[in-house]
Each structure stands twice: as structure tokens, then as C-alpha cells.
Chain A
Amino acid sequence: MSHVVEVAPEPAEAANGPAPRREPRPTRTWTLRRHGVRTVLELELRQRVRSARWRVALGAWFVVCGLVTWLTFRASAALVGPDYGGGYVDDGADGFSSTVTVTMHVPRGPLIFGIIVFFVLLAGLLVAPTLSAGTINGDRDAGTLATLQVTLLSPAEIAVGKLLAGWTAAVAFLVVALPFVVVSLAAGGVRVVSLAVTLVLLVVLLGVVCAIGLGFSALLSRTTASALLTYLTVLALTVGTVILFGLTFPLITQTDEVRVHEPTAISDIDCTWTTESSERAHTERTWWLLAVNPFVVVADAAPTTPAAARYGVPDPLQAIRDGVRSARSGPADREDWCGDGTIAEVGNASTAPVWPWGLGVDLVLGAGAVWVTVRRLRIPQGTLPRGTRVA
């Protein structure tokens, strides 16, 4: 960035002809010093922690998480049966009493894990905007923003400090919910690495939502407006993408000539390749709509459950993962209807993960929001947002 700085005109000249408004030199806008970020972070956290509301919210959250976990265990037990079958005692005729315990292992861990993770993600997505969407414009209303801006803190330090504070608060909610996520491991079928990957992604996604809230709070003068827009953005990412994906189906559906391998009219055993025309939705053009969805990112990134655990229990994460990956592949070039009864799609089927794309887009959104925030925090200010005061 090169900036031409006008030499300040002589006073006499300036009095006669008004000099054009000069651009502030933004040399230090992006300065990030550990001390500066920590100062803002400490300030923000101190204010949050001291409010009683905060502790009440965390306590209520803990109770709700416990309730949901308990209900999930009960419901999944009703669905697939308990983890362990009962034993029975066989009194042998020979007088020896032997106890044989038959263990029927039906792991419902993936189901429970999936439900709880999604519940925590949903709650996190709802909580994060409230933690960040009022930070900049709220401070401006309270008259405390300008007093920070006139110090030697750079705009980037203020923005990052505030982002980290909101993020930390959101992660605190995650930490409170952590015991219940761990409990779901006890139901079996979920590997520890799944837990780790999922947690990392939850943390990152909450950070993205906090950043979006921060950006809106810097852009808009009213806290209610920024909170509303942050919620709308979250809604667009979670529900809007799915609806849009569905609505685009007519647009991507076309009649293809497909090579099909199917039984001949004469025999079920003999199969021949024929060319048929069929209507197919080319979701390989719209899969990215699903990929940016935070729920899809989490589901797709979670490692697959061990094959042994896959039968008999629905695994929501697995279902989403398979769905979005096949959407990305789109319909196959050739279809094999012959054989053991399963329809084998031959050709371009891909199982490459989609979450790096989705997460990438989400991260770009978050980074853009931080960028906007820093730009809006620069001083001296040229234009003010409508209806705001500097101090």
C-alpha cells in the first residue's frame, strides 16, 4: 500500500483555498502487538465475567445440555435397544451353577454423538452472535470506544482483542457442554479422534460467527440491527443453503443419455449395456451450497466411524457426509443395475471430503468481517455512520 501524503500547506494558503480532505496515513492500522491485544482482551473479558447474567447463562446451559443428553440416551435406547443385552443364569442339572452372560453389542454412540454435537453447534451458533454483535456499536453508544481509539492501540488490536473476547466466551459454552459430548463416547462406536476433530471445528466455526457479528457491529450503528443481521447470516448459512440447494433442483435437472447395465428382458442373470435417457439432477454444480453449511462442515470432517459400528444404527454425521459427497460427484456416467441388487454407480464417484471448501469459505467470511471492522475503527474518521457520534 503506497500512500501519498500531501505536504501540509502553509497556513496562509490553507486559509484561502480549502485543502482537499487528506487520507489518513494508515501505517499503523494493522499493527498487532501482543500487549495491545491482551489489554483489549482483558478489558472485555473482565466486563463480561463480572456480569451475573453471564454466570446464570452458563449454569442454565449446563442444565439444558444435561437434559438433552439424557433424553438422547433414552430415545436412542428406545430406537435401537440398550447397549448391552441382558444375561441369564443357567442352572445346570449337574449342580454346577454357571452364569453365562450374553452381550449384544449394539453401539448407538454415533447417533448420540451426532445429536449432541449438532445440538451444541446449534446452541453455539445462536449464542455467538449475542456475544459479539454488540461489541463495537455498543461501545460507541456507551462512549467508551473513542477513549480506546485515542490511545496507542491500533485498530487491528482493538478488533482482534474484541474478537478473541467474544470467541473465548463462546468457547466457554462449548467447554461447559464438553462433559456431555464425552459421555456420548461411552455409548461406543465413536473414536476419540472424532471427538477431537469435531471440537476443533466447533471452535473454529464459533470464531467465524463471532467475527461476522463483530463486522456487523462495526458496520451498523444500532446493536439490534447488527444482532439481527448476524442471526440472518447464520440462518442463511445453516438453513438457507439447504433450501437454496433444494430450490435449484429444477435448474440443474436435465435429460441425459446414460449407459445402463441391466438385466435383459429374457433373463435376470444376463445383463447388457444399453443407453437410456433419464432425468438427472446435476448436483455437482450446486454441492458447494451445502459445503458452506456449518453442520455439513462438522459432519463431513468427522472421521468415519469404524465399519463394525455402522450397521443397525443411524449415524447422522455419516448420513450427511455420504449425502454431500455424492451430491458433489453428481450422477454417474454409467449405472450398473445388475448384480447383487445394489445399484452401483460406476465412474466419477468421488469420496473426497468437501469440508475444506466449506470451511475455507466460512473462514474467508470471518476474515472479511475482521477486515471491515479494522477499516471502520481507523481514526481520524472521515465520514461517520448515520446517527452516530464519535464520542
Chain B
Amino acid sequence: MSRADASPPAPPMPRPSGTGSPGGAASAGIVAVGVRRGFGAVKAVDSVSLAARPGRVTALVGPNGAGKTTLLLMLAGLLVPDAGTLMVGGHDPVTENAEVRAGTGWMPDTFGTWDSLTAREVLVTVGGAYFLSPPQARARADELLRTVHLDDLAEAPARVLSRGQKQRLGLARALVHDPQVLLLDEPASGLDPRSRVDLRVLLRRLASEGRTVLVSSHVLTELDELADDAVFLSRGRTVRESSLASATGERRTWRLRALDPVVLATWLDETGVPYRSAGGGTGTEPGLSAAPDDGSVHVDLDDDESAAELLRAAVVAGVPLVSVAPASGALEQVYLSLEEERR
């Protein structure tokens, strides 16, 4: 809770626009600089800068109350920022609101729907609201119902859909007008594992078509395989912006398991590699592992190369290793390292 005086990492500068879209400056994607928004005395978003590039999935990561939803509301053109500039798809949501709305699909976290309408009617209505002609809207609705695997529930009232099914309907609704920018607020919450995989495949496909996808979540594991870049928010501030590729090149914790834990421990002692038990819970790792104590150990390593080196040495030394893997996802690792910086 001593966030205020802990010196935060230097406010990240926005990505040089040259790297993302050559020449186009802010012609596409999402750029936010120094965005601030408060509700009365509460500073929901204090100072957020981020860039999300077309063709990539960007994760917006942060604990509850970090300002993710407020930021997305501003990007969707629903809220005016108190300060700072926003560009979504090349338009300013404040001054060119209609242009932003035309090219942006927004999926809210609290999903409300018109209860007495069927799933198909919801999508046809939204199509109408985007000024598609009735035949176009119907065709688009059918297409999207297939995309999110709700075609067998097309005639069911939205009221009877489960939470996960409503989430999928909400995603379809955000896609009705074929937007170039997608703002998804906790899209995976309530989804079953199968739907999560479908969501990941769908979002990857949408990004590969050149769209900008910004996904907020506090469930880090689901973002790991999905996101290209990550923006970390904490208490309304951008605390870190990085690509996941760079995140994997960082010091992180690995989990080692051998047939005989004693042999592994002895070898680690001999080689002088610091380790700690993974299962017993030494208290230093908050919630990293809930696995039963099978003799696994955690080792902090600088990067993938040192992991490979350690593995090679262990095998040469005859340690009966069964598995060597990162103890947690890359995002989780970065996230927790931020938490640690804060202490």
C-alpha cells in the first residue's frame, strides 16, 4: 500500500510511431498519451500512455480497479478524458466521435442485453444501429452467430443464455460493423475452456487481418498465448509497456522436477545454484504454486539461454530430470515482478 512514495518506473514514453505504422503516424491503431480521468475525487485513470498496433493483440493487464474499464470507455468514445490525447483508428474520440464509433467495436465487461430479444434479433438490431440494410444485417447476424458458435441458440431469448454464451453474443455484437479496432473488456470471463480456445483463435485471426485488438484482463494465463504486447496498469497509471517476446527474455522463475528430488537438490547445492522448494511454499512466492509437494524446486534464471545451459549441465551430471518449465506465464512473471518493485 506504499505505492505513493515507491518510485515508479519512469513514465513510459509512447512507442515511437515509426516502428508500428511506417509513415502513417497515428493513422491506425490506438495511441494514448498522458490520459487522465477522474470521477469526483477518485482518479480512475491517472496517467496512461499506451500504443496498440494494428495486426497485433495487445493485453491490458492490471488488478481490479487499475482503470482498465475507464480507459476502454474513453477509447470507445463514451467518456471524455480530463487530460491527454487519444487516437483510435486515426481519429480522436472526443472531437471525431462518430468516426471513432464507426471503426471501433467495444465489448463492455458488464454485459447487458435486451432480454426479450433472441440472439439473432440482438445482432440484427445492432446491425440496424450501424445502418446496415435489413438483408445485410440478417446476413451479418447469421455469419457472426456461426463465428461465435451460437447458431443453434439463434432463436433463444437472450435471457436464457448462460453467462459464457452472453459473453460470446457480446463479442459478436462488437464485430457487427466489421471494426478495425477492437476494445474487449474481460472477454474471456465466464467462458468455458473450449470457448476460451475459440476466442483465442478468433482474436488471433482478427489481428492477422490487420486489426488492432486491445484486450483487458486480470486473468494472466489466458492472455499469455493470445497477446503480442502487454500494457500494465496499476492505480490508473501505465507502469510498464512491453512486448511479450521481451518478457520471455527476462529473468524469471523455472520449475524443475526430478525422479529423485534428493539427487536434484544435492546437485543444485554442489553447483551453487540457489533454489527453493516449489511445493512447500517458502512464503516468498505469493500464490505461484498450489501444486502438491512433489519435490519440485524453483530456480531463478536470467533468460532462456541460461535455462538451456542449466538443463544441459544437469543431464550431463546424471540428474534424472522429468520436467523443466517456466514456473508461470510470461505475463504473470512480469506482473509479479512489478508487484515486487512496488514493495
Contact = CB atoms under 8 A, between A and B. Distances in A.
A146 interface: yes
B128 A39 contact: yes
Nearest to B96: A25
A391 B33 contact: no
Nearest to A39: B128
Interface residues of A, number: 47
Contact of B78 (A5, A35, A390): A390
Interface stretch (B107-115, B267-275, B290-298): B107-115
Contacts of A39: 125, 128-129
B11 to A, nearest CB: 8
B335 interface: no
B168 interface: no
Interface in A1-48: 5-6, 8-9, 11, 14-15, 18-22, 24-25, 27-28, 33, 35-36, 38-40, 42-43, 46-47
B301 interface: no
Contact of B116 (A38, A51, A151): A51
B204 interface: no
Contacts of A40: 129
A128 to B, nearest CB: 21
Given A28-B98, A149-B78, A391 B83 contact: no
A151 B78 contact: no
Interface string A43-61: 1001100110000000000
B92 interface: yes
A19 B121 contact: no
A152 interface: yes
Contacts of B11: 15
B139 interface: no
B261 to A, nearest CB: 51
A380 B35 CA distance: 15
A150 interface: yes
Contacts of B131: 33, 35-36, 152
A151 B80 CA distance: 17
A49 to B, nearest CB: 9
B98 A151 contact: no
B77 interface: yes
A391 B183 CA distance: 14
Contacts of B34: 11, 14-15, 18
B114 A380 contact: no
Contacts of B102: 152
A42 B121 CA distance: 11
A296 to B, nearest CB: 39
A275 interface: no
B95 A150 contact: no
B29 to A, nearest CB: 14
A279 B39 CA distance: 60
Contacts of A8: 85, 87, 92, 95
A240 to B, nearest CB: 36
Given A43-B114, A152-B130, A391 B78 contact: yes
A251 interface: no
A27 B31 CA distance: 24
Nearest to B116: A50
A150 B79 contact: no
Contacts of B80: 21-22, 24, 380-382
Interface of B: 11, 14, 31, 33-34, 36, 39, 49, 73-74, 76-85, 87, 92-98, 101-102, 104, 106, 108-117, 121, 125-126, 128-131, 173, 177
Interface of A: 5-6, 8-9, 11, 14-15, 18-22, 24-25, 27-28, 33, 35-36, 38-40, 42-43, 46-47, 50-51, 142-144, 146-153, 379-382, 384, 389-391
22 contacts: A8-B92, A11-B31, A15-B33, A15-B49, A18-B36, A19-B83, A19-B85, A21-B83, A24-B94, A25-B95, A36-B131, A42-B125, A46-B114, A47-B115, A50-B116, A142-B115, A150-B101, A152-B98, A152-B102, A379-B97, A381-B79, A391-B78
